[in-house]
């Protein structure tokens, strides 16, 4: 099968097409013929620094060849002997083996059945592939951690991006009042997702407008944004950071404690159960993937270059 192998950590030129053996699914795995792959900023970080950057946390040796990627949608073509949830011919999607060696940049992926859900019939493979890592992150932040509910005021930073555009829609699906931040260029897009208000980060200081949020989801790289997000929360509110650890930002953690704001640094996890919840939302039409660009597999480097601009609207998808 064709796969994109990372020849060595570094630039996009190190993402090379190779013919390698099709994987054989383990007992609890299914073999998925991949129809669409989505990419995320983490793919770029790992391309630059190597897979061990992630897997060292789990003390795994780096396995060769290194194949990046975790987000897939496709069709089951084989099943391990202990698989009970899927059969050949099922269309599935999910975040495979995160944080580990996902090996998603390939025509076939062996994936644990516990990481997948059935793809809703009315949703394309491209839309399904988009709604994996980024949608799971939004779900795990808002639902599993912050327990979002009807009437909550929710501030979503980077609301036009991969995670943000799902977070706006998930918070709305739970009946929240949603404010999204972005540049002016993405205002109409964010309001079109259902957000109640938009704030342009280059024209307004969000904490001067919003002072009583119940939940803030922050994925902006500048830690000052996290500190300012505490000012936008009410006491007892929840601040979820996708980027910064509070134990490495002591003054911010102290400021949150003084205001009685709950803090959490989310690390998204593969979960078939959460994928099934996302599938339900996609199926009902409450959640939609916005795919801004698609690339053929051979142009994975160009997809990475586009992702690195930090200006992605919705999701980027690669087609094997
Ligand atoms: N911890 C985890 O488990 C986890 C999971 C997923 C993602 N993440 C991290 O979260 C971050 C976002 O991920 P993503 O997939 O959503 O990225 P993305 O799709 O690349 O985000 C791009 C968006 O960021 C917006 N943006 C940039 N600077 C902004 C600012 N100062 N204020 C508001 N919006 C801003 C841009 O909007 P404009 O063009 O309008 O500026 C653009 O639409 C990344 O660092 C990623 O690694 C962490």
Whole-number pLDDT of residue 55: 64
**What's 58's domain CATH number?**
3.90.180.10
The answer to whether residues 107 and 165 belong to one domain is no
Q: Which atom of ligand 1 is nearest to the CA of 134?
A: 6
- Domain match, 8 and 57 both: yes
Domain that holds residue 11: 2-131+289-319
Considering the domain architecture, whether residues 159 and 56 belong to the same structural domain is answered as: no
Q: Provide the pLDDT for residue 56.
A: 52
| Residue 250 included in any domain | yes
Residue 191 CA, ligand 1 centroid: distance in Å? 17
Q: Report whether 244 contacts 222 (CB < 8 A).
A: no
The verdict on 124 and 154 lying in the same domain is no
CA-wise closest residue to 201 among 189, 214, 187: 187
Q: Are residues 201 and 245 in the same domain?
A: yes
pLDDT value at residue 61: 59
Residue 290 burial (CB count, 10 A): 17
Give the count of domains, the chain: 2
* SS3 track for 131-179: CCHHHHHHHHHHHHHCCCCCCCEEEECCCCCHHHHHHHHHHHHCCCEEE
Is-above-0.85 flag for pTM?
yes
In terms of Cα–Cα distance, which of 143, 122, 57, 126 is closest to 295? Answer: 126
- Residues 89 and 209 both lie in one domain: no
Q: What is the pLDDT of residues 201-238, one digit of tens each?
A: 999 999 999 999 999 999 999 999 999 999 999 999 99
Count of positions (residues) in the chain: 320
The pLDDT tens digits of the residues spanning 294-320 come to: 999 999 999 999 999 999 999 999 999
Ligand 1 pocket, CB under 6 A: 40-42, 134, 137, 157-158, 160-164, 181-183, 185-186, 201, 219-220, 242-243, 266-268, 310-313
Residues 76 and 172 both lie in one domain: no
The CATH code of the domain that includes 252 is: 3.40.50.720
């Amino acid at each position: 099968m064709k796969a994109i192998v990372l020849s060595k950590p570094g630039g996009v030129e190190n993402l090379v097409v190779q013919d390698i053996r099709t994987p054989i699914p383990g007992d609890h795995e299914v073999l998925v013929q991949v129809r669409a792959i989505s990419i995320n900023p983490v793919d770029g970080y790992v391309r630059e620094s190597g897979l061990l950057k992630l897997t060292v946390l789990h003390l795994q040796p780096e396995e060769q060849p290194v194949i990046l990627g975790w987000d897939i949608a496709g069709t089951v073509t084989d099943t391990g002997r202990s698989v009970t949830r899927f059969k050949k011919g099922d269309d599935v999607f999910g975040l495979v083996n995160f944080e580990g060696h996902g090996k998603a940049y390939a025509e076939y992926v062996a994936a644990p059945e516990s990481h997948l859900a059935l793809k809703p019939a009315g949703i394309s493979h491209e839309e399904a592939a988009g709604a994996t890592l980024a949608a799971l992150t939004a779900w795990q932040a808002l639902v599993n951690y912050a327990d979002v509910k009807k009437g909550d005021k929710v501030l979503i930073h980077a609301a036009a991006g991969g995670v943000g555009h799902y977070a706006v829609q998930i918070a709305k699906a739970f009946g929240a009042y949603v404010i999204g931040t972005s540049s002016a260029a993405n205002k109409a897009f964010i309001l079109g997702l259902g957000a109640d208000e938009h704030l342009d980060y280059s024209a307004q200081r969000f904490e001067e407008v919003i002072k009583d949020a119940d939940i803030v989801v922050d994925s902006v790289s500048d830690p000052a944004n996290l500190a300012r997000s505490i000012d936008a929360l009410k006491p007892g509110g929840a601040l979820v950071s996708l980027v910064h650890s509070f134990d490495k930002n002591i003054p911010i953690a102290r400021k949150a404690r003084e205001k009685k704001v709950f803090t959490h640094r989310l690390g998204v996890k593969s979960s078939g159960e959460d994928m099934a919840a996302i599938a339900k939302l996609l199926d009902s039409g409450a959640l939609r993937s916005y795919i801004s660009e698609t690339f053929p597999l051979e142009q994975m480097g160009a997809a990475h270059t586009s992702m690195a601009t930090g200006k992605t609207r919705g999701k980027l998808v690669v087609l094997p």
